[in-house]
A and B are shown apart, each in its own frame.
Chain A
């Protein structure tokens, strides 16, 4: 059981490093034998090759992963499966989630003429791996596909990988282990800073309340001194608006404007962290969680008295 788990961890790294050479097709439980004695080659390079009417002569196999083949304007309508298209051919396991037709033109319900199979996953159809890993995403396994379009499709399960992980922006694409490590450290730092920002906002409110209280007490004493009255309990409670220093007003407004700006920043960072978590990459998710914990630990010492505010569920 332990080595199984270890294999799950190391296999993406191992597979990605080795070039995809000849992979003999394992007997798949399909009704019609498709590629008898055919050796499939995965060294498919789609870098920028805009091919309308792309031909998949003899290489279309169930289990083939198209993640990363992003070509703006790529059409599937002219796809030619010469020699391999057979009725009854299993398309289960074919994942086209990566094929985005053009950046920016988001079309839900986009058809892949005849090849769109909702709900397809790779569960158990990657036989050339040798070991059965249900639910494991092989986004990282086909490292030869260099993406030129959108991010690598939507995963719905956690995966260990470092190939073509797009984090928030297209420019932030992880392809190597050092990049993954750097991104994890960055995400960790952002999560820490987020906790720090929350504590800082509370501290600002405390400071504003203290300064306004001080200003108020100053105005009391000033008022009583100038009026020549002795300080009585009644005077302390009532605060005449005219006697208040105008600075208190200014402080309040400035403070609130600053708090609003910090609120925007806080919402921004919280949504950003949520989206990072949504990449479903285990390493990045762990970085978010651990960073939040470290930030809570580091900045929680300085947390002032609890402020009555709803801060969950942004």
Chain B
């Protein structure tokens, strides 16, 4: 907090200097036009709220700095966040440029000169589609940590510790070195956990019978009843092929759970898709060939359906003044929530099999790196409270997504590639977590902001965690030596991500979560906090989370203070005198809390509830108008590229300053922290 305060006053000067500096250091990419004046930034919700300013193109960011106003609102967008750029037909006022981002920000600019617009467009097209990993932001990003700290950051999440926590290795499961040097499967990690009875021969044999050699390996183990979740890709069964080793592999998984006489094999694809795969020599397990399996399809659609679904939903989000019907129909037609439900259902099925029936489950889809990752991680999250803590959630993503070869680069288009490979697979998982948080508000240690920031950084390429498509590629690139870990960054700022309702001794956090199933009406809701994240006007104007967090801290502080005072009291002889002081101080404090909450409670401006009002000659804008619009301007700082900004500068809700944590902060203005971002930018340029 103090750190952010330091930059408050000097921000403007700093930013400009940085920008000039950045413009001179654009590296390999030639930026035709590094700076355009008199650009207008439009607001989707209100045509009246267009801002005029200067647009800068730097090596890493697009920056819009508003003219004139005291606050100098800035909008920063990382090039890696840009998903599409659209140049629209020139109008009388200029040439519109529409930039859509992967974190669901939509920026509408109007550039006065068509030629300038074209130059910006051409530069951005190139900047937004890097061809080499080395061009990505994480290789130039430097948060000023020394080597030791960087290494410590990468060690924050440790998977072998995680398997130890699950109780592995034990008498049923062991770590296998069969994939040492990625010899068996190049998209798997080197350390794979398999049943003890599965010999290297069985594993290798089974891997030859599985798509991309992704053999069954352990994802989660429940030490209470020995049931486990394993994952693999589809078998190459075609219409009739069999593989003894693969059958033995499944037997071994079953035997590793002596309490149960069968295992579930869950194919997360729709049956039709699985059957179609048989024609290509792939397919699914035949119950007749495998002894003691129960086979189950769960129809989660493929990445192409999901990509289109998201596209349709985003179109709904972008609509200009939609009616309620437009919105609900659009949302339904996108099918997005239906897909979310399908993923949740699959996770719930598996969690139930493991927790209630004590039966092990083998999960696969086609290649076992998209739907399988979603479903395994949802199930783990339901089963184990550990994954609902902040650290545990990082481990979960590391385990089921990063280590098992989810193709981050292809799915999230970090490098210029096949657009058909792009799909919001992990976005869907993150949304599932949010949907669960809505149903179980006390069960998660982290809050919505944590999820949003993780989503942001999956696309930002600011940290090395999600680069490439597999562990093998990451090792070859020496990611850990050349970039920083997101987990360390999030962990450092963990105070921002805490859920105030989470209490380790609360009943709701124990054991398995049992989400409601039926009726599913309104169980799954549209997540405007994510998909309309940058349109602050749509969201609740006051943040309960932040308020409660502040209250919690305040209480803690008071209690500590009280303890100290209590001690002192006991030691002092003039009890009466001291007692009065404490009493009055206590009252002051509670007054302060109330005051700061109310004085900043909120200010907002009305939307366009009517167009008729414009035609009516009204009086000159009142004083109040100006005040309010000034406040609104500052909140637009949120539209900056670093999500941390939005975490801390929501001036509309105005309660953030409570989190300044200094007892005297009650009446102060919220801290302004673009400085932080600028700071990062400086480092990168150095």
Partners in one complex: no
By a beta-carbon cutoff of 8 Å, the part of chain A in contact with chain B is none
